[in-house]
């Protein structure tokens, strides 16, 4: 039986071996090449100072966004907890209302000793005393629970308010607005808009600081918003005012933030006009 020729057509075994060696050598040149000492790969290309500044700015902005998102989550959690406390307090108030619908049992006087119904009347009187004591205990218990819930509700409300203010501060920083200038604008807007729902919108909206600045600079539009119902005001602020307020945003800069003050001094307490009676450090 003749042997089969396994080499490519038109080549001898020795020529085929040379071709294989050539392929292997070419592959070695393409795969696993180590750069010579002192050479730089495309990934290791040195950035210009401008590119390095932009890169650092993007990193810093990502950190700011992360902080803002974290504070927003805290505010949402605090808001949910506050709503639960409100519901619990409302439930207790309903219990009190139900108890008040039932008159406190009247305790009859002690019957005369010679009264033929003396025994029965004494039993009725004892039962009335028991019910009266039970009624008083129930009312006191519910009122005590309600007082505790009100205290807890106040605490949760403070947590929500603090979360709102912290989130607002982060947005002010992110937008590059000067806090002192914004505080003046806040005072102006707060004097026209007493409704806390509208104020909360300005505190929680991503462009809230810019909207406050815009309204303070445009008193006619501020008066228009103040004359609206809270729902219409919120819609108007979002759809009509916010796009115009965005034009006030300072140009973003890649200049690094100034170094913190020595000595670890804290910022002075600031009264936020958008939240009546609230002062935060």
The predicted structure's pLDDT at residue 166: 87
Task: Place 1 in a pLDDT band, splitting at 50, 70 and 90.
Answer: very low
Cβ atoms 241, 215 nearer than 8 A: yes
Q: Measured between alpha carbons, how far is 131 from 48 in angstroms, rounded to an integer? A: 86
Cβ atoms 215, 244 nearer than 8 A: no
pLDDT tops 80 at residue 260: no
The predicted structure's pLDDT at residue 87: 79
Q: Measured between alpha carbons, how far is 271 from 179 in angstroms, rounded to an integer? A: 12
pLDDT digits 0-9 by tens, 143-156: 888 888 888 888 88
- Note the residue count of the chain: 281
pLDDT digits 0-9 by tens, 97-117: 776 677 788 899 998 988 898
Domains of the chain: 51-169 (1.20.120), 177-249 (no CATH)
φ/ψ bin of 275: left (φ > 0), alpha (ψ from -120 to 50), beta (otherwise): beta
Which residues, 6 or more positions from 172, have their beta carbon under 8 angstroms from its beta carbon? 179, 182, 209
What is the CB-side half-sphere exposure of residue 33 using CA atoms within 13 A?
11
Name the least confident of 6-20, 49-63, 200-214: 6-20
Higher pLDDT, 276 or 167: 167
Q: Is 238 exposed, middle or buried (0-12, 13-18, 19+ CB in 10 A)?
A: middle
Higher pLDDT, 49 or 16: 49
**Which percentage of the chain shows pLDDT scores above 90?**
25
Q: Which of 164, 140, 130, 109 is nearest to 278 (CA)?
A: 164
pLDDT digits 0-9 by tens, 58-89: 676 666 566 556 656 666 676 777 777 777 77
Per DSSP, the three-state class of 36 is: coil
Q: Compute CA 75 distance to the chain's CA centroid, rounded to the nearest angstrom.
A: 4
Query: Which pair of structure tokens corresponds to residue 21?
Result: 């060696």
pLDDT digits 0-9 by tens, 185-211: 999 999 999 998 999 999 989 899 999
């Amino acid at each position: 039986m003749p042997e089969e020729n396994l080499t490519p057509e038109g080549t001898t075994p020795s020529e085929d071996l040379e071709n294989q060696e050539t392929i292997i050598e070419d592959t070695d040149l393409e795969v696993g090449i180590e750069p010579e000492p002192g050479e730089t790969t495309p990934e290791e290309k040195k950035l210009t100072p401008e590119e390095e500044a932009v890169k650092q700015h993007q990193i810093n902005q990502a950190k700011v966004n992360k902080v803002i998102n974290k504070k927003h989550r805290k505010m949402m959690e605090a808001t949910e907890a506050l709503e639960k406390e409100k519901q619990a307090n409302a439930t207790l108030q309903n219990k009190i209302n139900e108890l008040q619908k039932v008159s406190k049992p009247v305790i009859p006087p002690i019957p005369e000793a010679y009264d033929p119904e003396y025994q029965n009347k004494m039993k009725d009187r004892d039962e009335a005393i028991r019910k009266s004591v039970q009624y008083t205990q129930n009312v006191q218990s519910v009122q005590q629970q309600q007082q505790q819930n009100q205290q807890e509700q106040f605490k949760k409300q403070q947590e929500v308010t603090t979360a709102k203010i912290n989130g607002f501060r982060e947005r002010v920083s992110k937008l590059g607005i000067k806090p002192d200038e914004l505080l003046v604008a806040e005072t102006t807007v707060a004097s026209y808009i007493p409704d806390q729902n509208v104020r909360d919108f300005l505190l929680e909206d991503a462009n809230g600081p810019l909207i406050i600045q815009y309204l303070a600079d445009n008193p006619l539009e501020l008066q228009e918003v103040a004359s609206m119902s809270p729902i219409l005001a919120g819609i108007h602020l979002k759809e009509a005012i916010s796009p115009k307020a965005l034009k006030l945003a300072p140009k973003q800069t890649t200049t690094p933030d100034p170094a913190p003050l020595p000595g670890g001094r804290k910022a002075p307490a600031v009264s936020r006009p958008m939240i009546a009676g609230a002062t935060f450090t």
